[in-house]
Chain A
Amino acid sequence: MTSIATSGALRRRIPATGFWSWVTTVDHKRIAKLYGYTGFAFFIIGGLEALLIRLQLARPENAFVTPAEYNSLFTMHGTTMIFLVVMPLAAAFMNYLLPLMLGARDVAFPRLNALGYWFFLGGGIVLYSSYILATAGVPAGGFVPETISRLGSAANGGWFMYPPNSGATFSPGSVIDFWLVGIALAGVGSLVSSVNLLTTIFNLRAKGMSLMRMPVFAWMSMVVNFLLLFSIPIITVAIFMLIFDRQFGTSFFEASGGGDPVLYQHLFWLFGHPEVYILILPAMGIVSEVLPVFSRKPLFGYPAVVFAGIAIGFLGFGVWAHHMFASGIGPITQAAFGLSTMTIAIPTGIKVFNWIGTMWGGKLRFKAPMLFAIGFVAMFTIGGLSGVTHSIVPADWQQTDTYYVVAHFHYVLFGGAMFGIFAGLYYWFPKLTGRMYHERLAKWHFWLMLIGFNLTFGPMHWLGLIGMARRTYTYAPGLGFDFWNMVSTIGSFLIASSVLLFMANWIDSRRRGKPAPMDPWDARTLEWSIPSPPPEYNFGEVPAVEALDDLWHQKYDEDERGRPVRKPDADARLSDLEQRHLHPAHPPHLPAPSAFPPLAGLSALGFAFGLLYHATAFGVVLLVLATVGLVVSFLSWSQEPLEEEAGK
């Protein structure tokens, strides 16, 4: 490999700290932090949108926001939480953990990894620039106030963006275009990232780390990245077609021009249903790591959990039309998709039982990660059960577009995905920062969030069943909606205050938390066999793995009744490992920082805005510049040396 590093003309010096070191970084741990902090910033924004929604719905016939603003709020809330929060937070975990869990120096394509982040960030910027740059048009004869405030100047067609509502006739403004271009850009970022992470999982495992010795988190990441790989192109096609309809006069989804609006629904949900597993499977992986450690038992039924995850991935592509039962797709289709939807409950149930089996008879330690993991199992099960009720077609007709559905998906996406993410954030906090978080504050966070969450979304089941419609900016008094909406609003502020506790804990513990040892939880996987925080090169020497949960077996033997007995030299082994990783005999070569991924990301951002303003001279100039920028960055990228000089 040394031959590659000798193209002297291209050698350059990039600082190891400061702003530019973050812009040009290709270190998977730093990129994970970029994903994490950006995702969390969007979590705050999406959360504020949710609070505005709840304030508007607190009382009947409230006029806190206008109908147009309300439409933008729920659309941006959903879009943000899905594309700009849960997906990047999951990407943060996968980026940080996969190389550490698999025993690798970095991911397979460090620069592509950075590119994925910059595309995602560009997508978020395009989406939110809509508040400043875009206009929400008013359809001819539409009942909307003449002026729409800036708060209402963002996409307003729901996160699924169905035509014909999102078509040029009914949404003549530019807010929908900003949404389409932004999501397409973020989607390309996810695609790039999935290619990279899949290759990492397949090719960069340590010696002896066969697939069936990988941590469950790595398995779930593999399934997630396959789902991304196969579903992102479908939403991309749907978005392109809608852009063509809006901008270039086609009528793919315009019934009046011979098109088919239901086709969009098929394409969208053929992406959209795998997408919900893309959101939940990383959290399932996290919980499958946390529960065994805090139960001091191996994961119950490891192969079953793995195969159930794979089964969820496959079935996820065969159930999309259950989102469309009310769109007139015919009885045979409805029956088929109702049945396939029910089968999803089987692998999901297997997982739930395996998690309970893991805890059963274990020595449970109720630390914050464990509390969030148990919260995940309980809340996700409730959300899963209400999900199964959607497979009953007549019941689904009744529930469609009511708050029952809102309750369901918040139980799986907040009670599920976000609880899992918080479990992971506390669990790996010591590894990430080298310090411990404040346990008591974290427990307050958990209980406040659990109570607030159930107060917010529990009543929505009932509200939906008695007929309260989604996506409607207000409701009349005296329908039985008043009390529970107020409860829900109060609950949402409890959630917000629990998030503030989390932030306070995070900020303070990073600076003043107790120093964390390399293995504070007595854990089982490879990332705990290196110092906290990990050195830039991860492993001072390439680990060799002999079993599932290899680190555990290095520390523990079993007695005749199968109970773990700590080896007398376990502590000595750990400190020996720490020293060897801190002071490697041969410092590993690291991927060199690169300015071309951010340059390509910037060009793609320019291209996106060029597309949005393609009808103006400014847009055309931008398109030309961006194309040149893309070609130049990729050409220079391909000629750049891959590694830093030995012993830099």
Chain B
Amino acid sequence: MTTHELAAHTETSTGIDTRKVGMWAFLSSEALFFGALITNYLLFKGRTLEGVHPRELLNIPFTSISSFVLLMSSLTMVLAHAALTRNDQKATRRWLLATAALGATFIGGQVFEFTTFYREGMTLSTNPASSSFFVLTGFHGAHVTVGVLLLLSLVAVSFRRKGLTFARGMNLELVGLYWHFVDIVWIVIFTVVYLIR
């Protein structure tokens, strides 16, 4: 990014890039969305219920590994950002692909986890605890999926003649903000749902 381009985007009242302010506003709304879903789970997890309860099935070692995978994707995301700051297109693409791959691995782990639970008799409609577990982690998984799609479209854009820049609309930095947010939400979910039982 040239200094000229940088200047064009910082002439705002707050001095912060307009798209970034918008993204932060959107993420603060998302925080309330997940806040409500997490509250639902906390409300239902302690009740006496029929059928299999999530805490009987949760596989902490397995999910710890997939959580580690997701957290590492934040690291690769930062490395992609750093590479683009140096305008190293190849490294940027590499780290973006790594981030998307780690995200997809996490989703794969979730699909495996969900199918295992279904086989062991805990479905979406078993009881409100299982319902709120699936809805909460399912919506998080959907967010990760959207993130993977965003990362892959960045990779696609990077093949254009001019490569990736910070100037375009939904740029790498914004996708990064979204990605880190989704990771942080997972840290909360992992702690609240899996670790504190």
A640, closest chain B residue (CB): B169
For the complex formed, measure the closest distance between the CB of B176 and the CB atoms of chain A, giving whole angstroms: 16
Which of B35-43, B90-98, B100-108, B184-192 makes up part of the contact surface? B35-43
Assess the A248–B124 pair: CB atoms within 8 A. yes
For the complex formed, measure the closest distance between the CB of A528 and the CB atoms of chain B, giving whole angstroms: 21
Question: Does B32 sit within 8 A of A, measured CB to CB?
Answer: yes
Question: Does A20 sit within 8 A of B, measured CB to CB?
Answer: no
Question: Does B120 sit within 8 A of A, measured CB to CB?
Answer: no
The residues of A that contact B21 with a CB separation of less than 8 Å are 108, 198-199, 202-203
Assess the A109–B36 pair: CB atoms within 8 A. no
- Known A109-B22, A241-B40, A267-B36; contact A195-B29, beta-carbon cutoff 8 A: yes
Question: Does A329 sit within 8 A of B, measured CB to CB?
Answer: no
For the complex formed, measure the closest distance between the CB of B155 and the CB atoms of chain A, giving whole angstroms: 13
Question: Does B170 sit within 8 A of A, measured CB to CB?
Answer: yes
Assess the B128–A259 pair: CB atoms within 8 A. yes
CA distance A267 to B40 in the complex (A): 10
Q: Tally A-B pairs: CB < 8 A.
A: 117
The residues of A that contact B135 with a CB separation of less than 8 Å are 240-241, 244, 250
Question: Does A3 sit within 8 A of B, measured CB to CB?
Answer: yes
Question: Does B33 sit within 8 A of A, measured CB to CB?
Answer: yes
CA distance A267 to B33 in the complex (A): 11
Chain A stretch 439-469: residues in CB contact (< 8 A) with chain B: none
Question: Does A521 sit within 8 A of B, measured CB to CB?
Answer: no
Q: B1-38 CB contact bits vs A (8 Å, 1 = yes)?
A: 00001001000111010110110011011101100110
CA distance A259 to B129 in the complex (A): 9
Chain B stretch 127-153: residues in CB contact (< 8 A) with chain A: 127-129, 131-132, 135, 149, 153
For the complex formed, measure the closest distance between the CB of A121 and the CB atoms of chain B, giving whole angstroms: 21
Question: Does B50 sit within 8 A of A, measured CB to CB?
Answer: yes
B5, closest chain A residue (CB): A3
Assess the B40–A251 pair: CB atoms within 8 A. no
The residues of B that contact A244 with a CB separation of less than 8 Å are 124, 131, 135
Q: A474-514 CB contact bits vs B (8 Å, 1 = yes)?
A: 00000000000000000000000000000000000000000
Q: B99-124 CB contact bits vs A (8 Å, 1 = yes)?
A: 00000000000000000000000001
Assess the A248–B125 pair: CB atoms within 8 A. yes
For the complex formed, measure the closest distance between the CB of B126 and the CB atoms of chain A, giving whole angstroms: 9
Question: Does A642 sit within 8 A of B, measured CB to CB?
Answer: yes
Assess the A233–B30 pair: CB atoms within 8 A. yes
- Range, interface on chain B: 35 or more
Of B8, B12, B22, B125, which is within 8 A of A251 by CB? Answer: B125
For the complex formed, measure the closest distance between the CB of A646 and the CB atoms of chain B, giving whole angstroms: 15
CA distance A280 to B132 in the complex (A): 34
B26, closest chain A residue (CB): A195
The residues of A that contact B170 with a CB separation of less than 8 Å are 638
CA distance A229 to B37 in the complex (A): 16
Tally of chain A residues near chain B (CB < 8 A) = 46
Assess the A638–B153 pair: CB atoms within 8 A. yes
Chain A stretch 206-249: residues in CB contact (< 8 A) with chain B: 209, 229-234, 236-238, 240-241, 244, 248-249
Question: Does A532 sit within 8 A of B, measured CB to CB?
Answer: no
Of A204, A205, A251, A637, which is within 8 A of B128 by CB? Answer: A251
Chain B stretch 39-86: residues in CB contact (< 8 A) with chain A: 40, 43-44, 47-50
Assess the B124–A234 pair: CB atoms within 8 A. no
Question: Does B195 sit within 8 A of A, measured CB to CB?
Answer: no
CA distance A232 to B26 in the complex (A): 11
Question: Mostly helix, strand, loop or mixed at chain B's interface?
Answer: helix
CA distance A238 to B32 in the complex (A): 12
CA distance A260 to B43 in the complex (A): 9
Question: Does A191 sit within 8 A of B, measured CB to CB?
Answer: yes
Assess the B18–A258 pair: CB atoms within 8 A. no
The residues of B that contact A112 with a CB separation of less than 8 Å are 22
For the complex formed, measure the closest distance between the CB of A512 and the CB atoms of chain B, giving whole angstroms: 41
- Known A204-B12, A638-B170; contact A251-B25, beta-carbon cutoff 8 A: no
A198, closest chain B residue (CB): B25
- Known A4-B167, A250-B124; contact A195-B32, beta-carbon cutoff 8 A: no
A253, closest chain B residue (CB): B128
The residues of A that contact B30 with a CB separation of less than 8 Å are 233
A108, closest chain B residue (CB): B18
For the complex formed, measure the closest distance between the CB of B27 and the CB atoms of chain A, giving whole angstroms: 10
- Known A258-B127, A642-B169; contact A233-B18, beta-carbon cutoff 8 A: no
Assess the A209–B40 pair: CB atoms within 8 A. no
Which of B28, B149, B167 has most A Cβ within 10 Å? B28
Question: Does A194 sit within 8 A of B, measured CB to CB?
Answer: yes
CA distance A147 to B54 in the complex (A): 44
Assess the A234–B125 pair: CB atoms within 8 A. no
Assess the A194–B167 pair: CB atoms within 8 A. no
- Known A196-B22, A202-B13, A638-B169; contact A233-B29, beta-carbon cutoff 8 A: yes
Assess the A263–B43 pair: CB atoms within 8 A. yes
- Known A191-B29, A257-B127; contact A203-B12, beta-carbon cutoff 8 A: yes
Assess the A194–B28 pair: CB atoms within 8 A. no
Assess the A229–B12 pair: CB atoms within 8 A. no
The residues of B that contact A194 with a CB separation of less than 8 Å are 25, 29
A230, closest chain B residue (CB): B32
For the complex formed, measure the closest distance between the CB of A542 and the CB atoms of chain B, giving whole angstroms: 10
For the complex formed, measure the closest distance between the CB of B154 and the CB atoms of chain A, giving whole angstroms: 10
Assess the B128–A258 pair: CB atoms within 8 A. yes
CA distance A191 to B32 in the complex (A): 12
Which of B19, B25, B43, B149 has most A Cβ within 10 Å? B25
Assess the B25–A229 pair: CB atoms within 8 A. yes
CA distance A250 to B130 in the complex (A): 9
For the complex formed, measure the closest distance between the CB of A643 and the CB atoms of chain B, giving whole angstroms: 12
The residues of A that contact B25 with a CB separation of less than 8 Å are 194-195, 198-199, 229
- Known A199-B21, A199-B25, A252-B40; contact A258-B13, beta-carbon cutoff 8 A: no
For the complex formed, measure the closest distance between the CB of B30 and the CB atoms of chain A, giving whole angstroms: 7
Question: Does A615 sit within 8 A of B, measured CB to CB?
Answer: no
B162, closest chain A residue (CB): A3
For the complex formed, measure the closest distance between the CB of A492 and the CB atoms of chain B, giving whole angstroms: 38
CA distance A293 to B22 in the complex (A): 33
CA distance A236 to B36 in the complex (A): 10
CA distance A195 to B30 in the complex (A): 12
Question: Does A635 sit within 8 A of B, measured CB to CB?
Answer: yes
CA distance A260 to B25 in the complex (A): 31
The residues of B that contact A257 with a CB separation of less than 8 Å are 127-128
For the complex formed, measure the closest distance between the CB of A42 and the CB atoms of chain B, giving whole angstroms: 25
Question: Does A565 sit within 8 A of B, measured CB to CB?
Answer: no
The interface of chain B, by Cβ under 8 A from chain A, is 5, 8, 12-14, 16, 18-19, 21-22, 25-26, 28-30, 32-33, 36-37, 40, 43-44, 47-50, 124-125, 127-129, 131-132, 135, 149, 153, 157, 167-170
The interface of chain A, by Cβ under 8 A from chain B, is 1, 3-4, 108-109, 112, 191, 194-196, 198-199, 202-205, 209, 229-234, 236-238, 240-241, 244, 248-252, 257-260, 263, 267, 631, 635, 637-639, 642
| Given A240-B135, A244-B131, A248-B124; 11 other pairs, CB 8 A cutoff | A1-B8, A108-B21, A196-B22, A199-B21, A203-B16, A203-B18, A229-B28, A231-B32, A232-B29, A244-B135, A252-B40
Cross-chain pairs A/B with CB under 8 angstroms, 7 sampled: A191-B29, A195-B26, A199-B25, A204-B12, A251-B127, A252-B128, A260-B128
